[in-house]
Chain A
Amino acid sequence: MSDIQTWALVFVALTFSVYIYIAWRSRVRETKGFFVAEQNVPAFANGAAVAADWMSAASFISMAGLIAFLGSDGSVYLMGWTGGFVLLALLLAPYLRKWGKFTVPEFVGDRFSESVRSVAAVVAIVVSFTYVVGQMSGGGIVFSRFLQVPQHWGVVIAAVVIFAYAVFGGMKGITWTQVAQYTVMIVAYLIPAWAVAQTMTGIAVPQVSFGQILAELDAIGREFGMDTYTQAFTARPQLDVFLVTMSLMIGTAGLPHVIIRFYTTKTVRGARFSALWALVFIALLYTTAPAVGAFTKLNMLQGVQGVSVDALPSWVANWQATGLVSLADGTDTVGTITNNADTFAAGGADMLLNNDILVLASPEIAGLPAPIVGLVAAGGLAAAMSTAAGLLLVISSSASHDLYFRYVDHHASERRRLFVSRVAMGVAVLVAIYFGINPPAFVGQVVAFAFGLAASTFFPVLILGIFWKRTNAAGAVSGMLAGLVFTASYMIYTLEVFGTQAHEHVLGISPEGIGAVGALLNLVVTVVVSTLTRPPSEHVQEMVEEIRYPARRTVPVRSAD
């Protein structure tokens, strides 16, 4: 066993025992604890949990790598995955918290109708499953590289641990485990980033210092036949950058596993501050990621430039074993690098690098000591597992709370409800294991799918449901279906999924960006259909009025300030 493996094993074993211990401490006996953690999670902790829940394997493992290859256009992920929190904080979180139910389908069920609730529950399950698959395979990558466990066993081990704390602790167990996972994840991300920044520029704050290497990076990239790093719109046309950013933002605000977290706070005010803390915690990683991308890319290019194949740095051989790095046959020195497997297969480059390895390999590439590399492995797993657990909770709550109890047994006792929720969670874990072992596409693309669907179905209907009393059930159903069908069709048209053939992008709009268009369509259809049909009942309109005010009015305290 190499040093790196030993350290990875130590950190992974250590963090897993912490998760299990927390799960044991916070096991729950009733559905309120299971679904919304008894609604007494402090804003600070909830913020950390949201951050861990939110930052997936894609954020931790793939994002810096994506940015490294996309250059300036990598900003779609940076802005898209943070800007959504502004929408969430200002437009959704406080009002949904005031409404005070367990799930997103439950809100639309009360606000609109039972049929909307069912549509929403099914969409929530589909979106969450699409997303959970990415987490499972992300976890598998970490296991296979750092512990030399075959990928499918890696998936099973991660799933068993998640199962343990999610099934017994429900939201309560998940929330407190996620606080721990956030800590592991951020430490594992920041330490190597600081170290790399320090060695390369002498300034340990990567956010500030990566400016210094940009000119150098632009130059060396050109020598390898890549686009200029800081130049905008080399990877995507401007319209597409705009739409992808928008889709990711409103997708963020519409993702059920993120929204559900704001139900766990004590008050409406707590929901607002949770969103603030969440973004602060997320920004720590998200402002570091572009620096990691830039530093690692420069390091990597300098490491292989002009070096003969037998003298390449050791990380190349280590990662070749996982299939994430490949060299073209008959290459003497690496002159061109690509992250595109098709270009590589066509003989267009000497070296193929998968986006997913950049963060995981960055400490190795920078020559940092083995314990740090091991820590990164634990961080990658924390990122994958925390998100997977949050998603599994949504699947379980939608399946049991919104479907089973509504249609099968709505007089179930508290004990029975808890039991059914746990069974639903167990089944979800099994399905997730299956898809984790047989993933349909690479991590990032799968996640984009989930965002498009969340953006085009949930977001517009939630916003209208809160801000426009006139929105009715007929409008909401038509809008959601229009958005869903349109977005899914375009994705199937442009991507190779379910054995279909990929077509050209229309107007340069990529499948990641189509969610924004679907959301607009949803909005228009909801407004038009709502206007043409009967307004919702007085009672519903009164409920919508009530969520505008955090508490019942007491004597104003104007004189206090």
Chain B
Amino acid sequence: MADTADTGQDGGTGGAPPPGAGGPDNGWRKEYWTKNLRLMVVLLAVWFVVSFGCGILFVEELNQIEVAGFPLGFWFAQQGSIYVFILLIGVYALRMDRLDDEYGVSERNDDGSRS
């Protein structure tokens, strides 16, 4: 179907590949992507340790410790993990802003301000 091929192209960066695609100076792409993946893996590791680790796998051990009335494992499962989730997304969004700027792929309005 012809219209699917068309819509596919629109899905890219407004049509044509960026300058230098397939050329020798494409190293930045790999670098950018590797840094993105590294950040992602670190954050997801924290995500797993806090929720599945502290809240489920080691909850009984942590429950031996009590803080402000909360058994610690119980606290992680019902409170702590949620606060950490917010932090993780916050760190991700801010770090990606910096990464986008560093590699010149952040979204800008015509006057150069963040869009």
Contact = CB atoms under 8 A, between A and B. Distances in A.
The yes or no verdict on A and B being binding partners is: yes
A272 interface: yes
Interface string B65-91: 001111101110111011101101110
A283 interface: yes
A438 to B, nearest CB: 35
A232 B12 contact: no
A549 B13 contact: yes
Contact of B102 (A214, A266, A545, A558): A558
B104 A290 contact: no
B82 A287 contact: yes
Interface string A114-140: 100000000000000000000000000
Contact of B32 (A85, A232, A549): A549
B107 A79 contact: no
A410 B1 CA distance: 11
A306 interface: no
A487 to B, nearest CB: 21
Interface string B1-16: 1011101101111100
Interface in A259-315: 266-269, 272-273, 275-276, 279-280, 283, 286-287, 290
B12 A267 contact: no
Contacts of A67: 78
Interface in B9-49: 10-14, 17-19, 28-29, 32-33, 36, 40, 43-44, 47
B14 to A, nearest CB: 7
Contacts of A556: 101-104
B40 to A, nearest CB: 5
A215 B79 CA distance: 17
Contacts of A83: 47, 51, 81, 85
Most buried by A among B10, B18, B55: B55
Interface in A63-113: 67, 72, 74-75, 78-79, 82-83, 85-87, 89-91, 94, 99-101, 109-110
Contacts of A546: 11-13, 17
A549 B18 CA distance: 10
Interface string A225-245: 000001111000010011001
A233 B57 CA distance: 11
Contact of A554 (B60, B63, B74, B108): B108
A86 B33 contact: no
Interface in A513-561: 539-540, 542-543, 545-558, 560-561
A552 B13 contact: yes
Contacts of A99: 11
B57 A550 contact: no
Interface residues of A, number: 72
A89 B56 contact: no
Classify the interface of chain B: helix, strand, loop or mixed.
helix
B11 A100 contact: yes
A207 interface: yes
A75 B78 contact: yes
A63 to B, nearest CB: 12
Contacts of B101: 556-557, 560-561
A212 interface: yes
A110 B4 contact: yes
Most buried by A among B11, B28, B57, B105: B11
Interface residues of B, number: 66
A283 B110 CA distance: 36
A441 interface: no
Contact of B89 (A211, A276, A553): A276
A283 B86 contact: yes
A208 interface: yes
B89 A279 contact: yes
Nearest to A213: B69
B77 A78 contact: yes
Contacts of A269: 93, 96-97, 100, 106-107, 114-115
A137 B74 CA distance: 32
A545 B22 CA distance: 11
B107 A78 contact: no
A114 B63 contact: no
A110 B8 contact: yes
Contacts of B28: 553
Contact of B107 (A268, A542, A547, A548): A268
B68 to A, nearest CB: 5
A83 B89 CA distance: 10
Give the top 6 A-B pairs by smallest Cβ distance, nearest first.
A211-B69, A75-B77, A556-B104, A546-B12, A211-B70, A272-B93
Given A211-B75, A232-B59, 20 more contacts: A72-B78, A75-B78, A78-B81, A82-B85, A85-B89, A90-B89, A211-B68, A211-B69, A232-B56, A267-B115, A272-B89, A276-B90, A539-B5, A543-B11, A546-B11, A549-B103, A550-B100, A550-B106, A553-B18, A557-B102
Interface of B: 1, 3-5, 7-8, 10-14, 17-19, 28-29, 32-33, 36, 40, 43-44, 47, 51-52, 55-57, 59-60, 63, 67-71, 73-75, 77-79, 81-83, 85-86, 88-90, 92-93, 96-98, 100-108, 114-115
22 contacts: A72-B59, A75-B55, A85-B89, A89-B89, A89-B92, A90-B44, A101-B7, A101-B11, A110-B7, A211-B69, A211-B75, A213-B69, A214-B69, A242-B56, A245-B51, A267-B115, A272-B89, A287-B79, A550-B107, A551-B108, A554-B104, A561-B101
